[in-house]
Amino acid sequence: MTSDYRHEGERVKILMFGRGVIAVTYGWALERAGHQVEFYVRPGRAAAYGEAIELDLLDARRRPWGRRVAERWPVRYRESLEPDHDFDLIVLSVQHYGFAEAAAFLGPRVGGATVLVFNNLWVEPLTAIEHLPADQVAWGFPGAGGGFGDDGVLRAALLPVVFLGTLDRPPTERERAVRQVFRGAGFKIQENADFRGWLWIHFVQNAGLHTRSLRGSLSTLTPGDAREAILATRELLPLVEARGVDLRRHRASLLPFTAPVWLAAPALSWLLRRFPPARRVTQAHANPEELRAVCRDTLAEARRRGVPVPRLEAAEPYFIGSTTS
């Protein structure tokens, strides 16, 4: 770290890597908590983006149904990053298929900052960060989502929980400092000591849901569609076990997909169709390629390991043929 921000209320200098949905949503929340936030963007992008971002957020940190925030948020961009910068924290959240490129770029430019990997991952986490200084990495996953519309407005929901964890060891001083930053911004933290397993379970849960969402929208998911999504996810759990994950350590995360389907399916359908923050995330999601890539990569791994996944196989026509590697 380039500065000590262990004391509650300390102002932290934060770099959001890119200007995606997660970077903007959390950048806004962290700046509102008193921190200094900037965005790294590719050369030439700052002028194209303009000096402010139009926000239409549903902020559920203090109200379960969310508080709507509609504002024009002035932001600061930078198009270069040298290793002698003075950022305390870099938040890295990109599409999972773009993570390797982003980490390779960032590696020699980390400087003294902590890097919060705030990302979906399907590869081995330690392999994913091979270009980053491992002792400066913290692991997490956002509780937010949405998308930029054709009008340039970010429509998203910010949930009260962020997911943080470690790879079977106690949190380091850097990781404890990251937790303090998010708690100070009004977030609850859900910890998991097997974050490798948590990430892979989350990945296949997404694949199971997207077997249905790619045929329509999660915001209109019927109980029958929810049932099929849950069963598709159950078929994928042996794949996670084949990768060495002990599912017993993740009972709480798996409960929506392991509970009796007659109970879980209507509950999941109601949540995605009627609960405003969840509905906002599913309605506003504007990157179908990420959904297709999740399904495609999961199916490739299942075939490689010989794990039968009939429902994901049946959905292949909806996600095959993308040009993204």
| 3-state class (DSSP) for residue 145 | strand
Residue 207 included in any domain: yes
Last residue of a domain, one of 193, 219, 254: 193
pLDDT one-digit tens code per residue, 20-31: 999 999 999 999
Same domain for 261 and 172: no
- Do 167 and 37 reside in the same domain of the chain? yes
Which contacts of 190-194 are long-range, i.e. CB under 8 A and separated by 24 or more positions?
A: 190/161, 190/162, 190/163, 190/164, 191/164, 191/165, 192/163, 192/164, 192/165, 192/250, 192/253, 193/165, 193/166, 193/168, 193/169, 193/249, 194/165, 194/167, 194/168, 194/245, 194/246, 194/249, 194/250
Taking only the tens place, the pLDDT of each residue in 95-128 is 999 999 999 999 999 999 999 999 999 999 999 9
Residue 307 and residue 243 share a domain: yes
Q: Name 303's Cβ contacts closer than 8 Å, sequence gap at least 6.
A: none
Whether residue 86 lies inside any domain: the answer is yes
7 pLDDT higher than 60: no
Q: Residues 290, 236, 277, 98: what is their CA dihedral angle, to the nearest 10 degrees?
A: -20
* Residue 288: pLDDT over 70: yes
Could you tell me if residue 325 is inside a domain?
no
Give yes or no: residues 204 and 165 share one domain: no
Whether residue 40 is found in the same domain as residue 189 = yes
| pLDDT value at 325 more than 70 | no
* Extended strands (E) in the chain: 13-17, 36-40, 52-59, 67-74, 77-78, 89-92, 114-118, 137-141, 144-148, 154-158, 161-165, 188-192
* Tokens encoding 239: 């794949």
- Whether residues 93 and 237 share a domain: the answer is no
Same structural domain for residues 161 and 217?
no
Residue 219 banded pLDDT, cuts 50, 70, 90: confident
Residues 154 and 237 in one domain: no
When the pLDDT of each residue in the chain is averaged and rounded to a whole number, the result is 94
Q: Which domain holds residue 19?
A: 13-193
Residue 205 counted as domain residue: yes
Q: Are residue 266 and residue 304 in the same domain, yes or no? A: yes
Last residue of a domain, one of 160, 193, 226: 193
On the question of pLDDT at 309 being above 80, the answer is yes
pLDDT band at 49 (very low <50, low <70, confident <90, very high): very high
Query: Is residue 179 domain-shared with residue 223, that is, in the same domain?
Result: no
Q: Decide if 5 is inside a domain.
A: no
- The answer to whether position 115 is within a domain reads yes
Residue-wise pLDDT tens digits, 119-161: 999 999 999 999 999 999 999 999 999 999 999 999 999 999 9
pLDDT confidence bin for 286, thresholds 50/70/90:
low
Q: Is 160 helix (H, G, I), strand (E, B) or coil?
A: coil
Domains in the chain, number: 2
Task: Tell whether 324 is covered by a domain.
Answer: no
Radius of gyration for the alpha carbons in the chain, expressed in angstroms and rounded: 19
CATH of the domain at 167: 3.40.50.720
Q: Which of the listed residues 166, 193, 220 is the one where a domain comes to its end?
A: 193
* 67 shares a domain with 89: yes
Sign for the pseudo-dihedral over CA of 60, 63, 64, 67: negative
Residues 201 and 132 placed together within one structural domain of the fold: no
Q: Is 246 contained in some domain? A: yes
b/e sequence 63-86, b meaning 16+ C-beta within 10 Å: eeebeebeeebebebeeebeeebe
Q: What is the pLDDT of residue 3?
A: 43
